[in-house]
Chains A and B, each alone.
Chain A
Amino acid sequence: MATYDTLFQALGLKDWCDSSASSAPMSMSDLVSKSSGDGAEQQTSLWNTPFPSLDTLNDACPAMPQSRAVTKGLEEGFLNIKDSLKVVLDPATQPLSWMLDGALYAMLSTPWWLVIPAILMIVWAVSRSAGLVAFVAVSFGGLAFIDQYDYAIQTLSIILVCAFLCVLIGVPIGILMSRSNGLRRAIIPVLDMLQTLPPFVYLIPLIFLFSVTESKLFGIAIILYAIVPVVRLTDLGIRLVDKDVIEAADAFGMSRHQKLFGVQIPLALPNIMAGVNQTIMMSLAMVVIASLVSAPGLGVLVLRGIRNLELGVGLVAGLGIVLLAVILDRVTKAALARINTTHQH
């Protein structure tokens, strides 16, 4: 006799319960209780009353579904729509795979004595800081010296491709959001969700949607996770542009297009760049986790360190990640500072 028998009796549902027994297979706990218990009356005190969960109710009334059915239903539902989703998503995301594979191939097949100077030149162009260039040179030299060069370059390529796409997609979304309060209200919950969902959770549906051998799998995971700040800060930056300046632009008859590119984006640039900085840092965090789903790079070594308890391997890879993080952060911050000084608002 289960706790909620009386409830079903009171509702007059006894017949319905008995008529159609749940078709779900017996769970382990069912089996255990069946074999141990002999059907004796178990009196439950008020203190011990279980929550009327699906499983508990199922005890009292076999016609009720068990919680397992929910899990199973979700899974089946997902698998059912998966094929039709794939028809749309596969071609739409294919370029991502090409870009990632292309970038990885290009960076790895170009000799190191071209790649490292190219990186240094980019750092110089962006930051104009000799100290930073020296720091990057020493870091990459050091990583290459202990044979971490290939891994570091893989990680860096993935980050650059994903951060680039985040900016490419995120900035226009942010601009649209700044223009329409309705759209903003619709998008903000999505951004909140993307930001609060633990990174591992993204991976589960993605693994089923895409094959683990495709690079777009981790590409999408990284982009979904890292795109949030650049969208938010673009929206914020444009909304924060001085109202008087916008009014002046309107008063002299600027078109929306002229206003956007001549006033709003330039004045929002410090905020947008702060978003890009955060996006890059979040890409780096995610690229390590994404090595669980075959993203190459330093993350793979960290994973190996954890799996095989190879402490040294894990620590060295961790050091590499820290160096990359510092480099990316410093370079984007230096770029940001340069933008700020030309704005001196």
Chain B
Amino acid sequence: MTDQNETPETRVSLKQLYKIFGDDPETAMEHVRNGLSKADLLDQHNHVLGLNDINIDIPDGKMTVIMGLSGSGKSTLIRHLNLLIRPTDGEIEVDGENILNYSEAQLRTLRQQKMSMVFQKFGLLPHRTVLENAGMPLAVRGFSKSEWAEQARKWLNRVGLDGQENQHPNQLSGGMQQRVGLARALTSNAPIMLMDEAFSALDPLIRTDMQNLLLELQEELQKTVVFITHDLDEALKLADKLVILKDGFIVQQGEPQRILLEPADAYVEEFITDINRARVLRVRSVMRTGADPKSSSGRVEAIGADDTLESALAKAKGDTSVCFKVERGGKVVGQLDMTDLVRALVPSAPPEDGNTARKVA
């Protein structure tokens, strides 16, 4: 997970991005600039406002998760990053270059070398074998069969598909097909990986497997991942940076811990109200920095800054007077007492009283 102290470089940056679906987006764009809402635009002009003033800096080497309900514009947004959909207005910068000015050939190079993509419905070529599918990104770039087959085999093994090379995609289960999709994206060796609801079509157990696999790979490869999901648990598990989308505009973006502790509005609160905060929140997000742990009374326990509150609770073993000294790399960076801990477990605007007790238990 993110180290708060370093601010990673921005790899992709979206600036004032708008997308309007319809016959005459330019005219509709004028109305939107004059402040017409999504619903009114649809009613009065029969145009769909897909994206509304999107500004996101996507950090290099981190996982940025974009979350929102169905129809909030997640797929539309991620397809703008490799220009499968062109914006009505705004800028998209990749490594400092505005890709909207790219020629067709430049755009193809971008897609071949800088960005790979994993799809919700897999998007595998049904007439090619698993090996050919996984090697496709390199074959497209003109690599010889022996070259792409070697890379494809390596990544197929890495995602746990050894020995399936000569199957066709339809002979595999959904989970295995998505592993092929993942291997394909990895074979392309692109630094940016776009994943549109990549695990949404899988059943829960396989989904957890795939999430763990992704985290493991990410540890090792440190790609710039943009991950779309409508599932908050998945978002919190994967995200270094979380963007919450609603009706095409951004409600809140930032570090997931911050969003949990300081939801921007009622919509976000509503969203996060049902999650297990103890399991998601980390000690570093709720601790008091710099304080001296010895001053407080009672037992003192050491705990890592990146540990979850759940593990802190386990360490306390029911003792409410315990105080934690928070360590990172052997150095004490702060303190956490049980009062702060319990306060953090209560959502900032609790829907009802008994809720907290249930969650702590």
Q: Is the CB of A251 within 8 A of B117?
A: yes
Provide the residues of chain A in CB contact with B112, threshold 8 Å: 252-253
Residues from chain B with Cβ under 8 Å of A251 in the complex: 82, 84, 111, 115-117, 119, 123, 194
Q: Judging by beta carbons under 8 Å apart, are A253 and B125 in contact?
A: no
**A191 lies within 8 A of chain B by Cβ:** no
Asked whether B111 lies within 8 Å of A343 as measured between CB atoms, the reply is no
Is the Cβ of B168 less than 8 Å from the Cβ of A344? yes
In the complex, A251→B127 CA distance in Å? Answer: 18
- Min CB distance B200 to A, Å, is 14
Contact digits for B133-174, partner A, Cβ 8 Å, 1 yes 0 no:
000110011000000000000000000000000001010000
**With A and B bound together, what is the CA distance between A252 and B152 in angstroms?**
15
Contact residues in A for B119 (Cβ distance below 8 Å): 244, 247-248, 251
Interface: B108 (CB within 8 A): yes
Q: Is the CB of B188 within 8 A of A267?
A: no
Q: B103-116 toward A: CB 8 Å interface, digit per residue (1/0)?
A: 00001111111011
Across the two chains, which residue of chain B brings its CB closest to A256?
Answer: B104
Residues on B with C-beta less than 8 A from A266 are 127
- In which size bucket is the chain B interface? 20 to 34
In the bound complex, do residue A344 and residue B108 qualify as a contact, i.e. CB atoms below 8 Å apart? no
Closest CB in chain B relative to A145 CB, distance in Å: 43
Interface of B is mostly: mixed
Q: Collect the chain A residues with CB atoms within 8 Å of residue B123's CB.
A: 244-245, 247-248, 251
Is A254 in the interface zone, CB < 8 Å from B?
yes
Asked if residues B140 and A254 are in contact (CB atoms below 8 Å), the reply is yes
Whether A34 is near chain B, meaning CB under 8 Å from some CB there, is no
Of chain B, the residue at the smallest CB distance from A263 is: B125
Interface residues of A in 237-268 (CB under 8 A from B): 242, 244-245, 247-255, 258, 262-263, 266-267
B-contact bits for A333-345, CB 8 A (1 contact / 0 none): 0000000001111
- Asked if B136 and A252 sit within 8 Å, CB to CB, the answer is yes
Q: Which residues of A contact B (CB under 8 A)?
A: 242, 244-245, 247-255, 258, 262-263, 266-267, 342-345
Which residue of B82, B84, B124, B127 has the most chain A CB atoms within 10 A of its CB atom?
B127
Given contacts A252-B117, A253-B109, contact A267 B127 (CB under 8 A): yes
Q: Which of B107, B111, B168, B170 is A252 in contact with, Cβ under 8 Å?
A: B111
Interface Cβ pair total, 8 Å cutoff: 66
- Closest chain B CB from A18 CB (angstroms): 59
Residue among B117, B126, B137 with max Cβ neighbours from chain A (10 Å): B126
- Taking the nearest CB of chain B, how far is it from the CB of A249, in angstroms? 8
CB <8 Å contact, B121 and A267: no
Chain B residues whose C-beta falls within 8 Å of the C-beta of A247 in the assembled complex: 84, 119, 123
B111, B170, B184: the one contacting A253 at CB < 8 Å is B111
A–B pairs, 20, beta carbons within 8 Å: A244-B119, A245-B124, A249-B125, A250-B111, A251-B82, A251-B84, A251-B111, A251-B115, A251-B194, A252-B111, A252-B140, A252-B188, A253-B108, A253-B110, A254-B140, A266-B127, A267-B125, A267-B126, A344-B170, A345-B170
| A267 CA / B123 CA spacing, docked (Å) | 13
Residues in B neighbouring A244, C-beta threshold 8 A: 119, 121-123
Indicate whether A258 sits within 8 Å of B140 (C-beta atoms), given known contacts A248-B117, A251-B84, A252-B117. yes
Chain A, Cβ-Cβ closest to B83: A250
Beyond A244-B122, A252-B117, 7 additional pairs, beta carbon < 8 A: A244-B123, A251-B123, A252-B116, A253-B111, A254-B140, A344-B170, A345-B126
Measured between beta carbons, the chain A residues less than 8 angstroms from B110 are: 253
Q: In the complex, what residues of A have CB within 8 A of residue B122's CB?
A: 244
